[in-house]
Structure 1
Amino acid sequence: MADIALAHDYVTQRGGAERVALTLTRAFPKLPLHTTLYNPSGTFPEFGAIDVKPMPINRWKMLRAHHRLALPFLKGAISHCRVDADVLVASSSGWAHGIQTTGRKVVYCHAPARWLYQTERYAGSNNSHGIRSRAIEAVSGVVGPNLRAWDQQAAHTADRYIVNSTIIKRAVAEVYGIDAEVLPPPPAMSALTATPQPIARIGQPFVLCVARLLPYKNVDTVIEAIAQIPDLDLVVVGEGPERRRLESLISHTGRTHLLGRVSDGQLRWLYENSSGLVAASYEDFGLTPLEAASFGRPTAALRDGGYLDTIVENVTGVFFEHPDVDSVASAVEEMVRLPWSTRSIINHSESFSESRFVARLRNIVEEELAHC
C-alpha cells in the first residue's frame, strides 16, 4: 500500500491556508499532518480530531503563540525534518515545501513567501503600523538573502508544483522558474456548513468584511469607506496584530462591529444576512467571495490578484480599481444598489466544489506514485 504524508507550514491561526490543510486531511483521511508549530487555541477546532505532528521547535510556548517570532528559526526546524513517504503533499506559503522526504513531493503553494518577496506589503509601509512592521523589515533585511537562497533550493526539491490561482502561477514562474498547475481550493464556508447562530447586537442592513487584521488587508480603508455611507453598518470578522489600531479607528462610530473570531455558525448567519462582502486586500486567492457567493451574496472587491479568478464582474460582484476610501465606498454603494441573481451567484460558487478539488488532487498523487 502506498504511503502518503501531509504537511503544512504551521497550525497556529485561522485562515484560508489552514482551511486548505483541513481539506487535505479529508482528501487523505486518517493521515498525520506534519508541521512546525501547533497552537490548538489559535486555529480551527477541527484540527483537534487530526494527528498533528509538530516539530521540536514547538516546545517553545512563545513561538506557538506568535509564529512570526519564529521566522529566524523555521529554516533550521524544516531542514532537520525528514518524512518517510512515497508521496508527501505539502501545503506551503514558504516553509513546508522545504521538508525532506524519501519519496516524491507535491507542493500546494498558496504563495511564495510574502515576507521574502513582498516585505513592504506584508509588513505595511505606513508608519502607523509601528514596531511590528519595522521588526519584520529588519529581520527580513538581515536573514532575507540567506533565506531566499534556501527557499529557492527548497522549491526545486518538489516533483510537482500546484498553485491556487493564476496570479500565483505567474509569481511561481517569476520567483522559481517553475511552471505550476492551477487548482483553486474550495470555499470552506457554505450554505451546508454549520447551523446558523444569530448575533443579537448586529442590525441590518450591514456589509461584511472577513480578513485577518494585517496591514495589507486594508481593513482600515474599508472601515473609513463604510463610515461615509449612511444607514449601512460594517461587520468585520478576523483577528490579528492590527486590532488595537482598528479599535481606536472605530471608537467614534457605532456602525462598525469588530467581532474578532466567530464560530462557523455565526459566520454562516453573517453571510446569510449581509447585503454583501467587501474585500479590499491583496489576495493570492479570492476565497471569501466564493464563501459569500455560496449564500447568494455579491462582493465588492479590489480588481487585483485572486479576486480576478473568483468573481465574475456584474454577475457575482463589482470591482474597484484602488484600495482607497472613495473607491471602496463607491463600489459598495453600487453593490447594495444593484439587483442580483441569487441563483447565478450560487451556481458560480458551486463550480469551485471540494469534490472537484479532492478528485484532482488524488489524481495528481496517483500520477506521482506511478513514478515511485
Structure 2
Amino acid sequence: MTTHQSDETVDVAIAHDYLTQRGGAEKVVLALQRAFPSAPIYTTLYEASTTYPEFADSRIITSPLNAVGPLRRSHRLALPFLAWAASRMRVRAKHTIVSSSGWAHGFPATGSKIVYCYSPARWLYQRDAYMGSSGLSPRRIVLDVLSPFLKRWDRRASTTATTYFAISTVVQQRIKETYGLDAEVLPAPHTVDTSIAEEPVPLPDAIAAEPFFLCISRLLPYKNVDVVIEAFNELGLPLVVVGAGPEERRLAGLRGDNVAMVKDLTDGQIAWLYARCRAVVSASFEDFGLTPIEGAVHGKPSIVLRWGGFLDTIDEGTTGVYFDSPDAAAVIEAVRGFETRSWDEDAIKNHAQRFTEEHFAARLREEIARIDALSAGGQDRASS
C-alpha cells in the first residue's frame, strides 16, 4: 500500500532512500520490516515492479516525486531533485530507523533518528568509482554543478542523527573522515530463507552441465564485473552473472560462450543458483560484501577482492580466498589456487550464523531502549 505523507505518529518508522531496485540495501529494509512489522516505510520513490514483491504488503509513504513515472522507473534521473524530496519527507515517529546511502539520513524526523549507513554518498565522495572515470555524461555534468550544494546538504543531514551505525569497518572509517562521527559497526543480516522452494534458471547446456561459478552484482563500473568476465573467458570455466544496470550491454559484448548473464530472478531462482555453484566470485569495491555470506548459508566458498566489506565477511582459508587487485590476472590466479583446496561445507555454514537477522534486530532494539532510558532520565530530572 502506497500513501503520501501522514499526520500519524508511530512508535517506530523505517526510512530508505528509494525502493526501485533489488539489492542488498533493499533486503536490509525487508529485514527491518520483519523486525518491526507495524512500522511504515518512508521513501522518496517506490516502484513495485522493479523491487522486491514483499514490499507490496507494507505501508509505504512516498514523496511527491513518486507521481512522476519516469523517475520511479529510473531513480538516477531523479538525482537533481532528491535532496529537495528528502527534505520534505517528514517522518512522524518516536524512533526512525534510517537505511541510507546518501538520501534518507536527510529525512526530517520528529523523534530519534538511528541511521544505518551503507556508505556516505558514493556519487559525491567516490564519484569515479561509482560512475567510471572516463567521459562526460549528462549525469556527471549535473553532479559537477550540484556537488557543492549536495555536499553541504549531506553533511548537515548527518548532524541530525541520534545514532550512527556503519555496515562495515571500511564504512566506519569513511563516516569518520566524511562527517567526523563515531559509528558502531553493525554487520548487515543475511536474509536467505533456506526453506524456500528452488526454481531452476534456464542456462545454456554447456554452462548448466557442470558446477559453475557465480557472480551476483549490480552492473555498475565500481563492481568490476568486466574483470570477472575477462578472467573466466581466459579460464574457460562456466560463469553465471546475475544482475542488471548501466553496464549490461557492454558486459554482454565481452562475454564468451562460457558466460551466461541473467537478471530479474526470484528468490527461488537465486537459491537454485547458490545451491549449484562452486563458489561466489566478486572483484567489486564492496562496502559490505553480502553475497559471500549468502553463499556461505548454502555452504559455498567465495573468491573475492581483498578490500572493504569483504574483509569483514570472509574468514580467509575457511570460507574463501582473496585476490589483491581488480584485474583479470589476479582473479585467474585466485581461481586456480581455489581449485587446489578442499572446503568444509559445515564450517562455511557456521560462519554465516554470525550474520543473522536476530542479531541485527536485537542490537537495534537495544539502541531504542537506550534512547528511551536516556529520555526518561531527562524527563525525571526536569520534573524534580
Does TM-score exceed 0.5, indicating one fold?
A: yes
- Report the CA distance between 1:200 and its aligned residue: 4.5
**Residue 81 of structure 1 aligns to which amino acid in structure 2?**
M
Aligned to 1:31, the other structure's residue is in SS state coil
Aligned to 1:227, the other structure's residue is in SS state helix
CA distance in structure 1 between the aligned counterparts of 2:347 and 2:35, rounded to whole angstroms = 28
Cα root mean square deviation, aligned: 1.4
Instruction: Verify the 8 A CA contact 1:280 1:301 in the aligned structure 2.
Output: yes
- Report the CA distance between 1:219 and its aligned residue: 0.6
The corresponding residue for 1:227 is: 233
- Report the CA distance between 1:5 and its aligned residue: 1.2
Q: Does 1:164 align with 2:167?
A: yes
Select the structure of larger CA radius of gyration. Answer: 2
C-alpha offsets along residues 298-326 of structure 1, whole Å, 9 cap, x if unaligned? Answer: 10000000000000111100000001011
Give 1:95-244 correspondences, 5 Å limit: 95-126=103-134, 134-190=137-193, 192-201=194-203, 202-230=208-236, 232-244=237-249
C-alpha offsets along residues 117-147 of structure 1, whole Å, 9 cap, x if unaligned? Answer: 00111001245xxx6xx23321221000110
Instruction: Verify the 8 A CA contact 1:119 1:140 in the aligned structure 2.
Output: no
The corresponding residue for 2:3 is: none
- Report the CA distance between 1:214 and its aligned residue: 0.6
The corresponding residue for 2:299 is: 296
- Report the CA distance between 1:246 and its aligned residue: 1.1
C-alpha offsets along residues 152-174 of structure 1, whole Å, 9 cap, x if unaligned? Answer: 00001001001110100000000
Displacement over 4 Å in runs of 4+: none
The one of 69, 79, 90 aligned to 2:77: 69
CA distance in structure 2 between the aligned counterparts of 1:46 and 1:215, rounded to whole angstroms = 29
Instruction: Verify the 8 A CA contact 2:10 2:92 in the aligned structure 1.
Output: no
The one of 342, 346, 362 aligned to 2:345: 342
Q: Does 1:279 align with 2:287?
A: no
The corresponding residue for 2:6 is: none
Instruction: Verify the 8 A CA contact 1:193 1:264 in the aligned structure 2.
Output: no
Aligned to 2:235, the other structure's residue is in SS state coil
The corresponding residue for 1:85 is: 93
The corresponding residue for 2:44 is: 36
Instruction: Verify the 8 A CA contact 1:283 1:306 in the aligned structure 2.
Output: yes
- Report the CA distance between 1:59 and its aligned residue: 0.5
CA distance in structure 2 between the aligned counterparts of 1:174 and 1:360, rounded to whole angstroms = 25
Instruction: Give me the identity figure in percent.
Output: 48
Change (3 A) 1:21 1:143: same
Instruction: Verify the 8 A CA contact 2:189 2:355 in the aligned structure 1.
Output: yes
The corresponding residue for 1:327 is: 330
CA distance in structure 1 between the aligned counterparts of 2:29 and 2:198, rounded to whole angstroms = 24
CA distance in structure 2 between the aligned counterparts of 1:273 and 1:200, rounded to whole angstroms = 13
- Report the CA distance between 1:81 and its aligned residue: 2.0
Instruction: Verify the 8 A CA contact 1:298 1:335 in the aligned structure 2.
Output: no
- Report the CA distance between 1:336 and its aligned residue: 3.0
CA distance in structure 1 between the aligned counterparts of 2:171 and 2:109, rounded to whole angstroms = 24
Instruction: Verify the 8 A CA contact 2:12 2:95 in the aligned structure 1.
Output: yes
Instruction: Verify the 8 A CA contact 2:16 2:41 in the aligned structure 1.
Output: yes
Instruction: Structure 2: give runs of 5+ residues left out of the alignment.
Output: 1-8, 376-384
The corresponding residue for 1:21 is: 29
**Residue 229 of structure 1 aligns to which amino acid in structure 2?**
L
Instruction: Verify the 8 A CA contact 1:2 1:369 in the aligned structure 2.
Output: no
Instruction: Verify the 8 A CA contact 1:87 1:369 in the aligned structure 2.
Output: no
The corresponding residue for 1:248 is: 253
CA distance in structure 2 between the aligned counterparts of 1:286 and 1:22, rounded to whole angstroms = 18
CA distance in structure 1 between the aligned counterparts of 2:187 and 2:249, rounded to whole angstroms = 33
CA distance in structure 2 between the aligned counterparts of 1:61 and 1:82, rounded to whole angstroms = 22
Instruction: Verify the 8 A CA contact 1:299 1:318 in the aligned structure 2.
Output: yes
TM-score by length of 1: 0.95
Instruction: Verify the 8 A CA contact 1:274 1:297 in the aligned structure 2.
Output: yes
Give 1:262-277 correspondences, 5 Å limit: 262-277=265-280
C-alpha offsets along residues 331-369 of structure 1, whole Å, 9 cap, x if unaligned? Answer: 122223310011111100011111111111111112122
